[in-house]
Amino acid sequence: MGKNSLKKIIHLYYWNQIIDGKMNFGDMFSQDIVEYVSGAEVEHVKTDRPDKLLAVGSILNHETLSSGGVVWGSGTMDPSDIVYNPKVRFCAVRGPLTRKALIDKGYKVPSVYGDPVLLLPRIYSPQIPKTHKLGIILHWRHRELLKIHPSVKYIDILRKPEDKFKFIDDILSCERILSTSLHGLIVSDAYGVPSKYCTVSNSKLEGKEHFKFNDYFESIGRKDTEPLPLHPGEIITENTFPGDVRNTNINLDLDLLVDVFPYDLYHEPNFIYRIKKLLERK
């Protein structure tokens, strides 16, 4: 249940595929973030629900858009997978590349950007001592492709629900982060940990190459966008991280992202809660 004492329910879709008994970290936090911002309870629904909310993840595609819904912070990984449906409403999208792909298909999309995962420090902000010079986060498809030296902290992107906050702790315990996972980079940026985008050769991820990463990078004004190429069988050591990379300044109005949340998704819009949240920021 969220912070609001009035019981309202938002029907939320997020990618919840189980892999080795675990879920992908970023998608798992969609519920927590929506509950925090809205004050409502969240119910996970399937893609065919027309009144669903789409928030965290690269989940804008023909399947989710064809049935309608409301979009707050989602992105696409492939512009060719976008279909037009006049019943879809947009409050914010992850970045300008996603917005352009949608506009090209005929949608009206406001220029409000932000992956909702950037709001995590407002929910959870622990003090974690640094124990490792370098941590590495691998997309779940890359988990078996690289060798990692014992001095480097391997941070598994797949988590059991009760272990998801430990993912943040693990990042904060490192001075620097390498990541082939988009949400590994986003969480690192959100908590001010220097990070570097990496790819693994001959291991292409779903969607248009680099699209979702560049979409996010443009949304926050990140200049360090050139990926560091890694190779299958390569041993990752503390020296793998390039020394000239510093933490990213997020040039994005996160308060605006909160303000445009579709509070009217409730059966009875809770304007009292929204006003309370606005007053808390003043």
127-162, pLDDT tens digit by residue?
Answer: 999 999 999 998 767 677 788 999 999 998 887 878
Which tokens in the block code for residue 148?
Answer: 């990692």
Range of the domain at 137: 120-236
Shared domain for 188 and 83, answered yes or no, is no
Shared domain for 88 and 156, answered yes or no, is no
The candidate with the shortest Cα–Cα distance to 26, out of 185, 135, 254, is 185
pTM, two decimals, is: 0.87
Residues 6+ apart with CB under 8 A from 125: none
Question: Crossing angle of helices 182-190/211-220, nearest 10°?
Answer: 20
**46-50, 54-58, 160-164, 219-223: the lowest-pLDDT one:** 160-164
DSSP string, 144-196: TT-EE-TTSEEEESEE-GGGHHHHHHHHHTEEEEEESSHHHHHHHHHTT--EE
Shared domain for 124 and 212, answered yes or no, is yes
Which tokens in the block code for residue 127?
Answer: 């003090």
92-129, pLDDT tens digit by residue?
Answer: 999 999 999 999 999 999 999 999 999 999 999 999 99
pLDDT for 1 equals 35
CB 54 within 8 A of CB 102: no
**Band of residue 5 on the pLDDT scale cut at 50, 70, 90:** very low
Domain count, the chain: 2
Shared domain for 205 and 259, answered yes or no, is no
Is residue 1 situated within a structural domain?
no
Highest mean pLDDT among 18-32, 33-47, 90-104: 90-104
What distance in Å separates the CA atoms of residue 45 and residue 65, rounded to the nearest whole number?
14
What distance in Å separates the CA atoms of residue 33 and residue 246, rounded to the nearest whole number?
27
Q: Which residues pair with 93 in a beta bridge?
A: 74, 113
**Band of residue 231 on the pLDDT scale cut at 50, 70, 90:** confident
pLDDT for 164 equals 86
Is residue 98 situated within a structural domain?
yes
Is residue 132 situated within a structural domain?
yes
